Amino acid sequence: MYLIIDKKTKAILHMSNSFPGEDKRPEEIFPAFNAATMDFGRSPDQFIPVHFTIENGVVKDLAPPTAPPPETLAQARDRVVRGFTDASVAARQLLIPDYQIMNAGLGMYDDDRVRAIRATVDAFRDEVNRLEAAAAKAKSIQELEAIKPAFPTAMVKPKPAPKTK
């Protein structure tokens, strides 16, 4: 947004929209522009802040930046649980890529391999469930941050298949 103000009173004399890549001179925007009595600036946004100044042709916001509100326990819990889920999927994919899970479901692997894949996926699911339960019990953000995952680092040995006669 282009802006022309009176130097003495700081009153806005003219405003007009700007477009990306466009760089107009003050006289093109406001034919009555007088550099001795007027300041010309361009805002990087399509609005003018309530309290501003023009420095080197750029409209600067004078309001101090506002800090975001502090994170609540519920927000922290959601963030931490989402992080556990994402970490679980990433760690599981390193051990068992998705295509192997699909192949196991399609019956392309022998029973021992399918049981190992199932046991490993179940171990990841159980760990995420444990982490979610621990997060639900946490009474503070510090307690949430202290929860550490213990995802499997190798394929889980499945229980032996039941013997058939």
User: Do 82 and 48 reside in the same domain of the chain?
Assistant: no
pLDDT computed for residue 92 by the predictor = 97
User: Do 28 and 81 reside in the same domain of the chain?
Assistant: no
- Is residue 26 situated within a structural domain? yes
Tokens of 2: 């282009």
- Is residue 33 situated within a structural domain? yes
User: Do 43 and 96 reside in the same domain of the chain?
Assistant: no
Contacts 24+ apart (CB under 8 A), 129-138: 131/81, 131/84, 132/81, 132/84, 135/77, 135/80, 135/81, 135/84, 136/77, 138/73, 138/77
In this structure, the dihedral spanned by the alpha carbons of residues 109, 113, 117 and 118, taken in order and rounded to 10 degrees, is 90
Count Cβ atoms within 10 A of the Cβ of residue 156 and give its class: 0-12 exposed, 13-18 middle, 19 or more buried.
Answer: middle
The residues, ordered by sequence, that sit 6+ positions from 111 with a Cβ below 8 Å of its Cβ are 161
pTM exceeding the 0.75 threshold for the entire prediction:
no
38: containing domain: 2-61
User: Do 42 and 87 reside in the same domain of the chain?
Assistant: no
User: Do 82 and 130 reside in the same domain of the chain?
Assistant: yes
- Is residue 161 situated within a structural domain? no
pLDDT values of the chain reduced to their tens digit, one per residue, 165 residues? 899 999 999 899 999 988 888 888 999 989 999 999 999 999 888 888 888 899 998 999 988 888 889 999 999 999 999 999 999 999 999 999 999 999 999 999 999 999 999 999 999 999 999 999 999 999 999 999 999 999 999 999 987 767 776
User: Do 86 and 53 reside in the same domain of the chain?
Assistant: no
- Is residue 106 situated within a structural domain? yes
User: Do 54 and 105 reside in the same domain of the chain?
Assistant: no
Number of structural domains in the chain: 2
User: Do 86 and 115 reside in the same domain of the chain?
Assistant: yes
- Is residue 157 situated within a structural domain? no
User: Do 54 and 81 reside in the same domain of the chain?
Assistant: no
